[in-house]
Amino acid sequence: MDKTVLLIEDEPNIIEAISFILMRDGWRVATHSNGVDAVGAVATRRPDLVILDVMLPGRSGYDILRDLRAAEETAELPVLMLTARGQTRDREMAEQLGASRFMAKPFSNAEMLEAVNDLVRS
């Protein structure tokens, strides 16, 4: 398969859990843990998919998503937004900004795998 996901998340236990789930399924996982230069990390790594946390140090996931959608080379990149707060307002904001999918923490391993594989297939 050889697909690469860039996980932009700052909580070590979540990074570890998602990395494990995806690597076991054959994904290459790159990680990035701050919002300030996350857009640059996406441009450098050119992943097949981005998993993006809403709450990041330096810059919110919403701001990063807005920048990714505004740039021609990342406008169509699948982005799975993660948030600890699964409120309707968060979901609506993510959808308005162009998130491909939205997932509230905590999530199950099966949910994460299904979402990631669906996004890359579609």
Q: What confidence tens digit (pLDDT) does each residue in 62-75 have?
A: 999 999 999 999 99
The count of other CB atoms within 10 Å of the CB of residue 25 is 14
Look at the block and give the residue holding tokens 């990063």.
64
Calpha distance 93→113 (Å, rounded) = 23
Collapsing DSSP states into helix, strand and coil, what is residue 70? helix
The count of other CB atoms within 10 Å of the CB of residue 59 is 15
Q: What confidence tens digit (pLDDT) does each residue in 76-100 have?
A: 999 999 988 778 888 899 999 999 9
**pTM exceeding the 0.85 threshold for the entire prediction:** yes
Domains in the chain: boundaries = 4-121
Kindly report the CATH number that applies to the domain delimited by 4-121: 3.40.50.2300
Eight-state DSSP code of residue 45: H
